[in-house]
Amino acid sequence: MSQKPTVRNPDGNVFFILGACQKALRKTPETLERFKAETQAAMEGGETDYHGMLEICMKYVDFEIDDEDDNA
């Protein structure tokens, strides 16, 4: 199984995160289309909230957070 792409330092806005995930998935068009279909269905059906959308994202990509801001 191939490794999931990584999204680094995602912003808290769900639409920014969705865009960053789509960008990360560009190299795998079939996976990108599944991701788009799943997130769009979740939004249209009102089936999920912010945390639910993040769960969908985490099925397709890994998130990496830099802790540089914590040292200030």
- Domain boundaries along the sequence of the chain: 18-65
H/E element, 62: strand 62-64
Q: Which residues pair with 7 in a beta bridge?
A: 63
pLDDT band at 20 (very low <50, low <70, confident <90, very high): very high
Angle of the 50-60 helix axis to the 14-24 helix axis, nearest 10: 10
State what percent of residues in the chain have pLDDT above 70: 90
Angle at 58 between CA 19 and CA 38, to 5 degrees: 65
Contact 22, 40 (CB under 8 A): no
pTM over 0.75: yes
pLDDT of residue 7: 94
